Every structure is written in C-alpha cells, then in structure tokens.
C-alpha cells in the first residue's frame, strides 16, 4: 500500500499493535526505535539478529543505514517465521535496496513479515512523499484505514508510477551510482578515513578526528551525518554535481 | 500544523484519545463519524448542538456539508467550553469556510477546541494533499508526532504557501464563486429542485424524483452526490468551465 512517504508508515505500524517487546537491530535509522517507543512499546536495541531473543517484533533495515550491512533473505525469513509463531512480526526496511545487489523479501510478506520500500531516495525526489508497505492484505488494510483515503498526492501517484516503471533508468543509475560510491571511497581513503560501509547513495567511514572533520566540512557548507554515540564516524551522501564533487574533494585532501 | 490533507487528521485525532462518547452534529461529512468509530469510540449522530448532551467530544462542520448550515461562533465556543470542562473537546471542521461569510473560531483554539482547515477545495488542488489542524500546542505536537517528520510534500508546502498568501485571488474567487452558486441555484429551481442549502462550491437540493434525476445525470456522464438516507436530495458541485455549464444546463431543463 502506498503512503505519503515511508516515515508515516514507520509511525503508524507501532500504533496498530498492543504494547510489546520490540528489538531493533542496529545501530540503524533512529526513527524505528523512536516510533515504537512513542507508541508505548518496550524497545531494545540489539546488534544482530541473534539478539532478538523473545521479542514479539523485530526491525531490520536491509541494507542497513548507515553501515550498509546486508542480511541474507534466508536469515530474515527464518526470523519472520519465529516471530509469527509467537504472534509477532518482522519489519524489514528496504529503503536503500533499489540500487543494491540485495535479495528483497517482498515476495515473502505475510502475517509475520512486513516490508517498507522508499521512493524518494532512489529517484532523488524525497520531497514528493511516497513510500510503500508491502504486507499481507489484513495488515495493509489496517495501515490504509489508519491513513484514510487520499493520503497520497496526485503528483506522487503520477510521478511514482512513471518512475517505477522505468527499469532502464533504474539500471543505468544503479551503475552510475556504483561509480560515484567508488569515487567517494577513494576521496575518503585519501583523507585518512577507514570505510565502515554504505550503499551506493551514502558512505560511512571512521576518521582519526571525526568531530574536527565534521566541523571543518560544516564551516565550508558541507553537511555530513554524524553519530552521537560513534563520534569518529561520518556518513557522506553523494555530491549532486561536478561543482559539489570538486568542493568535497578540496575539503578531503 | 500542516498535514497531507485534512482527511488524515480526521483519522488521527480519534486515535489520540481513549475511547469515549462522541457526538457528530449532522447529517454531515460521513468520514468524521466513521473515523471516531474505527478508533473504538461510541459515536452518536445528533441533529443539533443541543443534542450533544454529555458526550466528551463533539464534531461540527461549519459551514456544514452538504446543507451549508452555519453555526454562530458564539455557540461553538460555548460548546467547546462545556466539553473542555469535562475533559473533552470540540472539533470544528471549517473545510468550506474560505469563501463563506462565516466567522472562524481559529483564533480561539485551546485545549477544548481544535479546528480543521482544508486547502484543496478552495484552490481546486485537492490532489496536492494539504490540510491543517489549528490547535493548542500540546494537541498540535501530538498530531505532529503521529504523522512524523516530512509528512507534507515539498510541492504542497511551496504551492500552499504561495496560494494562501494571495489574498486578492481569494477575494476575487469568493465573489466569482458566489455568482456561480447563484447561477446553479437558478438551474436547480428551473429543474423543479428545492434548494436545501450549500456553500459557494456546492449546492444541495431536493427533487420530486431524486433517484431518477441522479440516474439521468449519471448516464450523461455528470456525477452528483446522492445520500442513501435522503434519496430526494442531490448535491451539485460547480461546473468547471463553459462546456460543463452548458452540459449541466441542458440536463436540468
């Protein structure tokens, strides 16, 4: 089912379930844990699928943001089955899957598995607000009822439909972004960074003095993502054009 | 606070309150009662403010859809005060207020009063998905948290901002739509209809044989709104251009 962005689905999913124990495999996109917490659930951050324990609900971002870690579909499906057996389910957020050689679990959704897919990241149209929950019909209907009719804008429907049907564009851009990511990795290495991981749309690396580099970049008008609990790490988005590439390259000398 | 359309606020408001008795003053836009019911509240349709009784929450659409009835601000504010005293609140849906000579209660919002304002009806951009809750800061924050960050699209923010600042456009179109409404009233009268009421964007009338007229119009490709419980009544939207005016006029001879 479509929604005005994936974020509102991240907010809504927790409100469709009575308070329970939720394991969020991380470190990852912080809004998952925050949304389950806001809805009254008990949230436990875990560092791997093995840590999910007896939680009723688990959240895995695949590939993960910010470290790009990819979990095999087989492991995710086994976890979904375990959770379903105890009346829970697994949320797999495939926000960054479009450009990656990752096996989607969308075809396997059911009562124990819901998948979130984003639109704006891949197509560079985050402000259009379009995202999807791929779910069994009962959960999809509950999500749709929570959002009400007409939640997705006309422009998002028309543009989304055209863009998602354009497979050649997706293939060409997946290849181009792989080249961009490799270029960014070279710049990061030259600046003394150690690559942690990433996807073709962002790269995360550790630096000898992350906070100082964050400040220097910020003073030059370049915003990179930092992490309160891992101050050495910075996440770089892809520069948008030749000018931005040059500007970042100068800073990472 | 802005939202991707008013409808999602109609869905979300009931989910922020523990189940209680809700009075919906009607007949009116059916989604209010439906949304409160879906969220587990006990919904009672009442025909006037006096019927609200000891409900915790009341909903009034002002001006009302489909009959255009306008309630004085003073009566609404008195009701809001009563509801607030018992820990409840009044929802005033001013979806059709922009073009009407109706006194908005927006300036008086507080713990006992929340106002919904639409954008797409007035500006003919329903598909853009933009609507607002005008509320006290606590309720506005709760609504914002339920929708999450970035719920409203970039186009909606940019277009909404420009359109809402264009007061001359609003004044000119309010006058033009008043002329349209009067023209539609003359055509309805000529076809044997008795005007029930309306706003400058729609007119509701009773016909000797409403169902037959609904069918005839439908067969000609003209959709008007009918009401299961009041089969003699039909609600007409404004035709969009000269061609549509001519087509409707021919059918209402």
Domain boundary among A102, A132, A164: A164
pLDDT of residue A153: 97
Tell whether B143 and B177 lie within a shared domain.
no
Assigned token pair, B90: 């009044």
| Region for residue B158 given its phi and psi (left: phi exceeds 0; alpha: psi -120 to 50; beta: otherwise) | alpha
Q: Are residues A137 and A32 in the same domain?
A: yes
**Do residues A130 and A219 share a domain?**
no
pLDDT at B253: 85
Residues of A in contact with B127 (CB under 8 A): 153-155
Same-domain status, A37 and A90: yes
DSSP code of residue A220: T
Contact B8 A145 (CB under 8 A): no
Same domain (yes/no): A18, A134: yes
The reply to whether B95 and B176 lie within a common domain is no
The one-digit pLDDT tens for each residue of chain A (253 residues) are: 999 999 999 999 999 999 999 999 999 999 999 999 999 999 999 999 999 999 999 999 999 999 999 999 999 999 999 999 999 999 999 999 999 999 999 999 999 999 999 999 999 999 999 999 999 999 999 999 999 999 999 999 999 999 999 999 999 999 999 999 999 999 999 999 999 999 999 999 999 999 999 999 999 999 999 999 999 999 999 999 999 999 999 999 8
Residues A93 and A181 in one domain: no
Which of A104, A137, A164 terminates a domain? The answer is A164
Show pLDDT as tens, one digit a residue, over chain B (253 residues): 999 999 999 999 999 999 999 999 999 999 999 999 999 999 999 999 999 999 999 999 999 999 999 999 999 999 999 999 999 999 999 999 999 999 999 999 999 999 999 999 999 999 999 999 999 999 999 999 999 999 999 999 999 999 999 999 999 999 999 999 999 999 999 999 999 999 999 999 999 999 999 999 999 999 999 999 999 999 999 999 999 999 999 999 8
Together in a domain, A98 and A123:
yes
B78, B52: one domain: yes
Select from B11, B31, B127 the Cβ nearest to the Cβ of A146.
B11
Q: What is the pLDDT of residue A253?
A: 85
CB-facing half-sphere around the CA of A114: CA atoms within 13 A: 27
| Residue A12: how many other CB atoms lie within 10 Å | 24
Looking at the fold, whether A203 and A126 belong to one and the same domain comes out as no
Distance of alpha carbon B60 from alpha carbon B54, whole angstroms: 16
CA distance linking residue A153 with residue B88, whole number of Å: 32
Q: CB–CB of B92/B113 below 8 Å?
A: yes
- The nearest CA of chain A is from the CA of B180 a distance in Å of 26
In this structure, are residues A114 and A94 in contact, taking their beta carbons and an 8 Å threshold? no
Q: Model pTM?
A: 0.92
Query: CB–CB of B127 and A10 under 8 A?
Result: no
| Same-domain pairing of A94 and A13 | yes
Reading the block at residue A24, the tokens are: 């969020």
CATH number at B145 reads 3.40.640.10
CATH number of residue B194's parent domain: 3.90.1150.10
Where is the domain boundary, A164, A187, A205? A164
By residue range, what is the domain housing residue A231? Answer: 168-252
pLDDT for the residue A180 = 97
Number of structural domains (chain B) is: 2
Partners of residue A238 on adjacent β-strands: none
Kindly list the residues from chain B whose CB atom is less than 8 angstroms away from the CB atom of residue A38.
145
Q: Do B11 and A128 touch (CB under 8 A)?
A: no
B155 and B184 housed in the same domain:
no
The runs of H, that is alpha helices, within chain A are 7-12, 31-38, 73-85, 120-123, 137-147, 154-164, 167-190, 210-219, 242-251
Q: How far is B60 from chain A (nearest CA, A)?
A: 20
Tell me the CA end-to-end span of chain A in Å, nearest whole number.
Answer: 46
Looking at residue B202, its pLDDT comes to 98
Residues of B in contact with A147 (CB under 8 A): 8, 11
Four-residue CA torsion sign, A63, A68, A74, A80: negative
């Amino acid at each position: 089912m479509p929604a005005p962005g994936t974020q509102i689905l991240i907010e809504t999913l927790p409100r469709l379930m009575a308070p329970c124990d939720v394991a969020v495999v991380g470190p990852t996109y912080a809004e998952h844990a925050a949304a389950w917490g806001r809805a009254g659930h008990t949230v436990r951050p875990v560092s791997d699928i093995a840590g999910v324990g007896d939680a009723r609900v688990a959240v895995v971002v695949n590939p993960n943001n910010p470290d790009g870690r990819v979990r095999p579909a087989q492991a995710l499906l086994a976890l979904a089955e375990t959770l379903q057996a105890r009346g829970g389910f697994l949320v797999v957020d495939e926000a960054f899957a479009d450009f990656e050689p990752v096996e989607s679990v969308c075809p396997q959704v059911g009562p124990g598995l819901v998948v979130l897919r984003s639109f704006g990241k891949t197509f560079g149209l985050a402000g259009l607000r379009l995202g999807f929950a791929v779910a069994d019909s009962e959960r999809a209907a509950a999500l749709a009822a929570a959002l009400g009719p007409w939640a997705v804008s006309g422009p998002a429907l028309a543009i989304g439909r055209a863009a998602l049907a354009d497979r050649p564009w997706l293939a060409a851009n997946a290849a181009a972004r792989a080249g961009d990511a490799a270029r960014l990795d070279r710049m990061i290495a030259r600046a003394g960074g150690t690559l942690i991981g990433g996807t073709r749309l962002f790269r995360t690396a550790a630096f000898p003095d992350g906070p100082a580099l964050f400040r220097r970049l910020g003073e030059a008008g370049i915003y990179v993502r930092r992490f309160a609990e891992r101050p050495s790490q910075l996440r770089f988005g892809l520069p948008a054009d030749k000018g931005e590439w040059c500007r970042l390259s100068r800073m990472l000398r």
